[in-house]
A and B are shown apart, each in its own frame.
Chain A
Amino acid sequence: MSDKVVGGKCSACGAVSYPRRAVCPKCRNETFERIPIEGEGTVLTYTDVYALAIDYETRYLRLAIVELDSGQRATGQLLADDPKLGMRIQTTIGVVRKPGEKPITGLQFVPI
């Protein structure tokens, strides 16, 4: 799953933690299976950031929180020209940040 973004599915109650954590917030179990955070979903909210973080040279960055059909939520970059709340998206993996030589990959959301 090295090319995927992963969460932790609690091996006792099945609740998914993303980010992964040491203890399940629902049942306090401490063992998890890795599951990919991927699929289709909807845009819960988004923003266009003009005061950019370090490492970015674009004019602005479009970030979103999405609700996936699997029930998980995730933060990532929204690759949509005409974003709207509730719009349908699917996840892809792409380069999300380039601090120096080594690019970092992560979740991007593209309209369906």
Chain B
Amino acid sequence: MKPIYVAGAGMTKFGRADWSLIRLASEASRAALHHASLGEIPVDGVVVANMGAARVNKQTALGSALVDQLALYPAMAEAVENGPASGASAFKVGCQAIASGMADVVLVTGVERMRVVNGLEGTDFVASLSHPEVEYIYGVTLPSLAGMFARLVMDRFGVERRHLAMVAIKNHLNATKNPYAHIQQAVTMEGILTAPEAIVNNPPIAEPLHMFDCCPVSDGAAAVVLVSEEIMTKLGAPPIRVAGIGQATDTHAVHEREDPTDLKAVRLASERAFAMAGLRPADVNVAELHDAFTILEIAESEAAGFFGHGEGHLALERGETALDGRLPINPSGGLKAKGHPVGATGVAQLVELTWQLRGEAEGRQVKDAEVAYACNFGGFGNNVVATVLRREAR
């Protein structure tokens, strides 16, 4: 397999967009292409990550649409849909094109514009990834699966609502240092949990999860430029190597999993990514986890191998995952505060990590970060892509 590098990364501010779907994708793509400073080097392929445009925006064939907008013809182009893991899946497809020698430069752009529909329709669109016959018909939504997961994890491992609040507080604080974040506002334990008015500020969504345990619904786009080693040597930027990618699947219905508190697909995807990279979880300096719900950051930090099973909330409480901790998790603000435009999320995680490894993350920079890890969690854990990036010496 040929080496793969991330040569450029860019994104739009997440939030509520006035731009069209393709304008969003185009702005993020242009930012990534400018960041890569390719000069006269042509783009050989374009992969767009998106989950809901066919339904929500009534638009399909997004790869062709983006090529046209950016005048990148005759580049190869397609769109990848893999639920909330569409972003990292598209990144993987781009990497495969470089690794096989089929392309030297691939643009990977994730985009979602889901605030054009109301909350009910948006929730229903995401809930359509659940099992149609044994989950969806009962009124199952993503928050409800997360609520049932959270209650079980909390009961078994002594995780309390205050731990969930700590994830929200940490990630909201990080997002105040990220100009691309949807919600750039700090929150406090009093405001969301302990004060009498907290129940008003932070109403229940799917007990035991409340509003501040759930990511916002966002529009946005993120893009990276992948290149071969031959191209990377021609560019001046620090070489960010795609050291490892792992992907794993699990049962569609959550109730069929042997141990429903074990995020098996996260565990297997991570083991595969680390094996490919020749690295261990202990080598990671910064991580972006898929905290669509606060409980998931805790559970993924264990399944990825950073902490023992049932110990993630203790590491969080000790401050190990804070921006100045031993392993900063979600310096971008995570899905919780940066936002979660579903198809863009997996790419946005890798944009943040590329900036971190290049030392370009400004107020939220993790000092001297060399190895980075991302977990993009699709379905409710039934399709997970883990990625390890590493800055190489020039």
Which A residues lie at the B interface, using CB under 8 A?
17-19, 25, 44-56, 61, 63-65, 73-77, 85, 96-97, 104, 106-107
Contacts between chains A and B (CB distance < 8 A), count: 110
CA distance A77 to B183 in the complex (A): 34
Residue on A nearest B152 in the bound complex, by CB: A45
Residues on the A chain within 8 Å of B252, using CB: 19
Interface stretch, picked from B2-10, B85-93, B140-148, B157-165, is B140-148
| In the complex, chain B residues whose CB is within 8 Å of the CB of A49 | 139, 141, 143-144, 147, 205-207
Distance of A74 Cα from B255 Cα, bound (Å)? 6
Interface presence of B253 (CB below 8 A): yes
- CB distance A44 to B205 under 8 Å? no
Point out the residues of chain B lying under 8 angstroms from A47, CB to CB: 144, 147-148, 150-151, 206-209
- Enumerate chain B residues within 8 angstroms of A52, measured Cβ to Cβ: 120, 139, 141
Name the residue on A nearest B261 (C-beta): A45
Task: Establish whether residues B148 and A53, one from each chain, have CB atoms under 8 Å apart when the complex forms.
Answer: no
Tell whether B124 is near chain A: CB-to-CB under 8 Å: yes
Looking at the assembled complex, report how far the CB atom of A22 sits from the nearest CB atom of chain B, in whole angstroms. 13
A25 to B119, CA, bound (A): 37
Interface of A (DSSP majority class):
strand
Q: Which residue of A lies closest to B257 (CB)?
A: A73
Q: Across the interface, which residues of A come within 8 angstroms of B133, CB to CB? A: 19
Residues of A close to B141: CB separation below 8 A: 49, 51-53
Q: Mark B81-102, 1 if CB is under 8 A from A, else 0.
A: 0000000000000000000000
B74 sits at the interface (CB 8 A)? no
Shortest C-beta distance, A39 to chain B (Å), equals 15
**B contact residues, total (Cβ < 8 Å):** 38
From residue B135, how far is it (CB to closest CB) to chain A in Å? 5
Cα of A49 to Cα of B156 in the assembled complex, Å: 21
* B204 is an interface residue with CB less than 8 A from chain A: yes
Distance to closest chain A CB from B263 (angstroms) = 15
- The residues of B that contact A18 with a CB separation of less than 8 Å are 134, 253, 256
A50 and B123 contact, Cβ closer than 8 Å, known pairs A19-B252, A77-B138: no
B207 touches A63 (CB 8 A): no
| Docked pose: A63 CA to B150 CA in angstroms | 13
Of A25, A45, A76, A85, the contact of B138 (CB 8 Å cutoff): A76
Check: B127 CB closer than 8 A to any chain A CB.
yes
Q: Among the listed A25, A51, A64, A106, which residue makes an inter-chain contact with B123, where contact means beta carbons less than 8 Å apart? A: A51
Q: Whose C-beta in chain A lies nearest to the C-beta of B150?
A: A47
A74 CA / B124 CA spacing, docked (Å): 21
Name the B residues within 8 Å of A48 (CB-CB): 147, 204, 206-207
Q: Which residue of A lies closest to B207 (CB)?
A: A48
Evaluate contact between B260 and A45: CB separation under 8 angstroms.
yes
CB neighbours (8 Å) of B207 from chain A are 47-50
Chain A to chain B contacts (Cβ below 8 Å), 25 pairs: A18-B253, A19-B131, A19-B133, A19-B253, A44-B152, A47-B148, A47-B151, A49-B147, A49-B205, A50-B203, A50-B206, A51-B119, A51-B123, A51-B141, A51-B143, A51-B205, A51-B206, A53-B120, A53-B127, A53-B140, A65-B260, A74-B255, A85-B152, A96-B137, A97-B138
Question: How far is B152's CA from A77's CA once the two chains are assembled, in angstroms?
Answer: 17
Contact with A along B234-277 (1 / 0, CB 8 A): 00000000000000000111111000100000000000000000
13 more contacts with CB within 8 A, not counting A44-B152, A51-B205, A85-B152, are: A17-B256, A47-B208, A50-B206, A51-B119, A53-B124, A53-B127, A53-B141, A55-B139, A63-B144, A75-B135, A75-B140, A96-B137, A96-B139
